[in-house]
Amino acid sequence: MADPKGFLTTPRRPRTRRSATARVADWNEVYEGQSLLPIVGGQAGRCMDCGIPFCHDACPLGNLIPDWNDLVYRDDWQAAAARLLATNNFPEFTGRLCPAPCESACVLAIDSDPVSIKNVEITIAERAWQLGHDRPLPPLDPSGHRVAIVGSGPAGLACAQQLTRAGHRTVVYERADRIGGLLRYGIPNFRLEKHYLDRRIEQLRSEGTEFHTGVTVGSDVSAAELRAGCDALVIAVGATRWRELPVPGRELDGVHQAMEYLPLANRVVEGDFGTPAIDAEGKQVVIVGGGDTAADCLGTALRQHAGAVTQLDINPRPGEHRTAGQPWPVYPRTYRMTTSHEEAEALTRTAPQAGADARIFSATTLHLEGDPHGHVTALRLAEAEPADRRPRTGTDQVIPADLVLLALGFHGPDPDSPLLQDLSLDLTDDGTIARDTRFATHHDGVFVAGDAGRGQSLIVWAIAEGRSAAAAVDRYLTGRTALPAPITAADRPLTL
């Protein structure tokens, strides 16, 4: 156990963020540059080393959290890195972006502040890079097998790294011009600076993973051809089919899907062009949706100097604390301020109807209004009944809007894509690719990992999927495997 009295004597300390006004002036990470090193030992020392560590169970990767808390407290960074990297290929992504279900399940969280697990994780991850403990691990014995992976998001990358390290020749095909999936073109720089991604990709390359960008499997090369040329094929194409807003006026100019908008902003930061084709500068922006993607649109619009930004969430405003229906250790639905909402509050550039954090809760969109040229000018909304989300009569209001961004979530992969049709893959009722609990489709030697099989999810699940699918592929190729499989394809988060 780290510090027997740590949880009594040391308060939880958050990671300090730059001021909201400084943050929106650039695209850099929202956090202060200074290291967590001076405080992280004390934070890790708050861990009670519980007999049954619920944090470990709540982490889809099965991260050995109490072990590395103890090692950090004892200043043994090499052993802490070894424990962390044993279960997580990319702790620099989860340590920045994971919603940390482990912290909700921490035993301290029953009546106090949980251990700041995510901050300990990111500190171990970054220190491992600095001290050379996160090294390339090229395989010692090539297996002679060749595996193709379609898609380079966290699921495809984790799968590739595991299979390459196990000795298989692994080639990743990506239709975009850069590797990374949603880590590259979905999540903005202010939450993940892309040099962290580039650093990891370079490590995969140096271990022997091959990458081909600008190749759409199904069009540039047929999936059947790819399958014929390798010993196993893993499909990790994500859940790219976005949900629509079926209201009158959807067709107006100025109404865009979040995933049409966010990649352009990321490309500006990459230096591909100066002004994005969809730009919030000076506009009255309304974001329809309540999740991570909507919050990323909000932060992006503020950095593009939007005139006003409002976010509509169809759900009622959650409470600050767990309710009886959301008992510990499940991940509760409580009111959360993202960094983008903090920024909106600081800048007060929101519509008068919205709260200080730019949000209107219990809001359902009735229709979009346009000018004679077919450009959106306003959004009419009503209060949504909590039970069935139908509009409540007499609650209509109009918000001026000349840019409307739709962030309503995703179904699964595109069912009409030639990739799926080439291999005659079945879809589930949820729109994801059908597979058994070991990630295998009905097509011999074809596996599915990540959001393509699970439906829209989280980076930590995508990494767990990639690792587990790699173990399934290794077993398929060699008849046995020493690779870890943290989850089955049927496992679901401990949440309500």
Ligand X SMILES: Cc1cc2nc3c(=O)[nH]c(=O)nc-3n(C[C@H](O)[C@H](O)[C@H](O)COP(=O)(O)OP(=O)(O)OC[C@H]3O[C@@H](n4cnc5c(N)ncnc54)[C@H](O)[C@@H]3O)c2cc1C
Question: Distance between CA 379 and CA 398 in Å, rounded?
Answer: 6
Closest distance to ligand X from the beta carbon of 442 (Å): 19
Give yes or no for residue 91 binding ligand X (CB under 6 A): no
Distances (CA, A) of 419 to 8, 235, 480: 56, 9, 29
Considering only 118, 165, 168, 227, the residue that binds ligand SF4 (CB under 6 A) is 118
Considering only 237, 285, 378, 425, the residue that binds ligand X (CB under 6 A) is 237
| Residue 182 binding result from ligand SF4, ligand X, none, given CB thresholds of 5 to 8 Å by partner type | ligand X
**Region class of 383: left (phi > 0), else alpha (psi between -120 and 50), else beta:** beta
| C-alpha distance across the termini of the chain, in Å | 31
Closest distance to ligand SF4 from the beta carbon of 323 (Å): 22
Residues binding ligand X: number (CB under 6 A): 37
Q: Is 438 exposed, middle or buried (0-12, 13-18, 19+ CB in 10 A)?
A: middle
Give yes or no for residue 100 binding ligand SF4 (CB under 6 A): yes
Considering only 20, 23, 63, 197, the residue that binds ligand SF4 (CB under 6 A) is 63
Considering only 30, 36, 61, 403, the residue that binds ligand SF4 (CB under 6 A) is 61
Question: Distance between CA 52 and CA 76 in Å, rounded?
Answer: 23
- φ, ψ of residue 468 to 5 degrees: the values are -70, -40
Do 229 and 148 touch, CB atoms closer than 8 A? yes
Site residues for ligand X, window 323-382 (CB under 6 A)?
none
Considering only 262, 264, 280, 309, the residue that binds ligand X (CB under 6 A) is 262
Q: Which stretch binds ligand X (CB under 6 A): 55-63, 213-221, 245-253, 474-482?
A: 213-221
Give me the amino acid identity at 375.
H
Closest distance to ligand X from the beta carbon of 7 (Å): 27
Beta-strand pair 255-257/284-288: unpaired
Considering only 114, 151, 290, 455, the residue that binds ligand X (CB under 6 A) is 151
Give yes or no for residue 59 binding ligand SF4 (CB under 6 A): yes
Give yes or no for residue 292 binding ligand SF4 (CB under 6 A): no
Question: Distance between CA 380 and CA 421 in Å, rounded?
Answer: 40
Do 22 and 184 touch, CB atoms closer than 8 A? no
| Residue 97 binding result from ligand SF4, ligand X, none, given CB thresholds of 5 to 8 Å by partner type | ligand X
Considering only 101, 114, 154, 188, the residue that binds ligand SF4 (CB under 6 A) is 101
Nearer to ligand X, 263 or 355 (CB): 263
Contact letters for ligand X, residues 423-452 (x by CB under 6 A): ---------------------------xxx
Distances (CA, A) of 168 to 146, 162, 171, 193, 210: 6, 9, 10, 30, 11
Give yes or no for residue 466 binding ligand SF4 (CB under 6 A): no
Give yes or no for residue 452 binding ligand SF4 (CB under 6 A): no
Radius of gyration, alpha carbons of the chain? 23
Closest distance to ligand SF4 from the beta carbon of 66 (Å): 11
Q: Measuring CA to CA, which residue among 340, 359, 372, 164 is closest to residue 252?
A: 372
Closest distance to ligand SF4 from the beta carbon of 181 (Å): 17
Question: How long is the chain?
Answer: 496
Contact letters for ligand SF4, residues 271-290 (x by CB under 6 A): --------------------
| Residue 61 binding result from ligand SF4, ligand X, none, given CB thresholds of 5 to 8 Å by partner type | ligand SF4
Nearer to ligand SF4, 64 or 406 (CB): 64
Give yes or no for residue 67 binding ligand SF4 (CB under 6 A): no
| Residue 156 binding result from ligand X, ligand SF4, none, given CB thresholds of 5 to 8 Å by partner type | ligand X
Contacts with ligand SF4 by CB under 6 A lie at 59, 61, 63, 65, 94, 98, 100-102, 117-118, 121, 460
Contacts with ligand X by CB under 6 A lie at 97-98, 150-156, 173-176, 181-182, 186-187, 216-218, 236-238, 262, 292-293, 296, 417, 419, 450-452, 457-460, 462
